[in-house]
Amino acid sequence: MTRSSPPTRQVVVTGLGTVNALGSSVGAFAAALRAGTSGIAPLTLFDTAGFRARIAAQVRDDAPPEELAASLRRRLSRSDVFALRATAEALTESGITDVVAPERIGLVLGGTTGGMLRAEECLRARLEGRSTRYLPDPILGSPISVSADVVADVFDIRGPRLSLSTACSSSGNALGTALDWLRLGRIDAVVTGGTESLCRMTFAGFNALHALSLEPCRPFDRRRSGLSLGEGAAILVVESAAQAARRGARAHAELVGWGNSADAHHLTAPHPEGTGAILAMRRALANAALRPDDVDYINAHGTGTPLNDAVEAAAIGAVFGDAASRLAVSSTKGAVGHTLGAAGAIEALATILALRDGFIPPTVNLAEPEPEWALDLVPGRSRDATLRYALSNSYGFGGNNTSVVLGHA
């Protein structure tokens, strides 16, 4: 332990919840991660005729929670359903709502498409003559802020609420914001994470950009040819370590620090020298008061696109120097897909499970790592390992870079 000046207060994660293509609970997700299974399969959520790519990491178990009133249940977007189910799991486990007043619990979620899928269906029904008028659904369900509204309403969370949308770093920024709120003492607990539903707009858009891989994505592989989209939600309950200890709550991991930065370079491509990625990682380490050699594992953004993986590998080399060769670096996107606005949260959850359970999640579908990268990319199979600190990277279109530091509790 080399932390010289610890941040003002230690923050820990005391509740976990998820719904994604690998499983509908944290236990199922952890088992699938460790087994190295992939959730990428033919996409059936909508017709893929006309698209180059036909696969995605789709959530199959997508029913709205049965205990909700019928009037609410049928208005929920797919993103809302994922967020509600993950929040229910996280809150039940943490027990935070039994001890902290609703006004002292904050909520900050990331996402990029909200209820777009339902808006698309509403528009299609009208255009195809299946509906004679437009329904109120698009305005009720499509704004990115609605999932947080619904979660707050259902679980009676009345503290500060934010919905963040910074492309694929959205929920990484949500976790960082939650950490800041707790350090500032603005509230006593935060429900944070992200939710994202597959929809035609993102699928068609990434397809048009030739960013989608025709086969399941293979991050960091020499033959990588693009990303595979995914969907789902991950929700964390975070609070001060002191409060968690006082109430006897289980700390799964410590949320140690975070950093973000902007490339100011291009709408889709990362800066060729990785300046933004490097800055975000350095800021995250400084914010956590850690040195590069304190970190044992990086859960990379690792989309499987030729550019991202090359720039990210070089950026890791630049930040970690000699320490890079003894780091484990893996991408979980070959398993759970690229879940866009939920990626930061789902991958932070994977990182928390790695720290807690003592394993390194593999880079699923990686067969031939690029030989010039001197990185341990954990191809194919998970490994047992005791990890002290880990970084979770999220890089979004438009040059939105976020790194979150997590530590063994």
Partner 1 sequence: MTMSSEDLKSRLKELLITGLRLQDVAPAGIADDQPIFVDGLGLDSIDALELVVLIEEHFGIAIPDEEVGKKAFASINALADFIAAEQSRDA
* Interatomic CA distance for residues 270 and 74, integer angstroms: 40
Compute the half-sphere exposure of residue 133: CA atoms within 13 Å on the CB side of its CA.
2
- Sole window of 132-140, 216-224, 369-377, 383-391 interacting with partner 1 (rule: CB under 8 A): 132-140
Nearer to partner 1 by Cβ, of 135 and 323: the residue is 135
72-111 mask for partner 1 (x: CB under 8 A)?
--xx------------------------------------
Nearer to partner 1 by Cβ, of 6 and 134: the residue is 134
User: Out of 99, 135, 289, 307, which residue is the one contacting partner 1 (CB under 8 A)?
Assistant: 135
Q: Are strands 11-20 and 253-262 parallel, antiparallel or unpaired?
A: antiparallel
The one catalytic residue among 252, 271, 301, 408: 301
304-343 mask for partner 1 (x: CB under 8 A)?
----------------------------------------
Compute the least distance from the CB of residue 75 to partner 1, in Å: 8
* Interatomic CA distance for residues 85 and 25, integer angstroms: 9
Residue 221: strand pairing partners: 369
Compute the least distance from the CB of residue 24 to partner 1, in Å: 20
Going by C-alpha positions, the residue among 289, 271, 259, 294 that lies closest to residue 387 is: 294
- Sole window of 69-77, 150-158, 367-375, 386-394 interacting with partner 1 (rule: CB under 8 A): 69-77
Compute the half-sphere exposure of residue 322: CA atoms within 13 Å on the CB side of its CA.
0
CA 50 → CA 57, 106, 200, 203, 207, distances in Å? 19, 43, 12, 11, 10
Residue 19: strand pairing partners: 233
User: Out of 4, 5, 71, 386, which residue is the one contacting partner 1 (CB under 8 A)?
Assistant: 71
Whether 338 is a known active-site residue: answer yes
Compute the least distance from the CB of residue 324 to partner 1, in Å: 53
Compute the least distance from the CB of residue 153 to partner 1, in Å: 12
- CB 211, CB 338: distance < 8 Å: no
CA 104 → CA 158, 164, 335, distances in Å? 7, 20, 36
> For residue 269, how many other CB atoms are within 10 A of its CB?
14
DSSP state of 270: P
Q: Is 132 in the site for partner 1 (CB under 8 A)?
A: yes
DSSP state of 15: E
- Sole window of 33-41, 107-115, 127-135, 375-383 interacting with partner 1 (rule: CB under 8 A): 127-135
3-class state of residue 257 by DSSP: strand
Compute the least distance from the CB of residue 74 to partner 1, in Å: 5
The one catalytic residue among 168, 199, 217, 408: 168
Nearer to partner 1 by Cβ, of 33 and 122: the residue is 122
> For residue 12, how many other CB atoms are within 10 A of its CB?
24
Q: Is 70 in the site for partner 1 (CB under 8 A)?
A: yes
Nearer to partner 1 by Cβ, of 156 and 215: the residue is 156
* Interatomic CA distance for residues 70 and 134, integer angstroms: 21
Which helix H or strand E contains 261, and what residues bound it? Answer: strand 253-262
Q: Is 130 in the site for partner 1 (CB under 8 A)?
A: no
6-45 mask for partner 1 (x: CB under 8 A)?
----------------------------------------
Q: Is 4 in the site for partner 1 (CB under 8 A)?
A: no
CA 142 → CA 113, 172, 200, 301, distances in Å? 8, 22, 14, 27
- CB 229, CB 20: distance < 8 Å: no
User: Out of 41, 140, 269, 289, which residue is the one contacting partner 1 (CB under 8 A)?
Assistant: 140
Whether 122 is a known active-site residue: answer no
> For residue 275, how many other CB atoms are within 10 A of its CB?
20
* DSSP letters spanning 323-354: GGGGSEEE--HHHH-B-GGGHHHHHHHHHHHH
- Sole window of 37-45, 63-71, 262-270, 389-397 interacting with partner 1 (rule: CB under 8 A): 63-71
- Sole window of 27-35, 68-76, 193-201, 319-327 interacting with partner 1 (rule: CB under 8 A): 68-76
Q: Is 136 in the site for partner 1 (CB under 8 A)?
A: yes
User: Out of 133, 248, 267, 374, which residue is the one contacting partner 1 (CB under 8 A)?
Assistant: 133
Active site residues: 168, 301, 338
Residues that bind partner 1 (CB under 8 A): 69-71, 74-75, 132-133, 135-136, 140
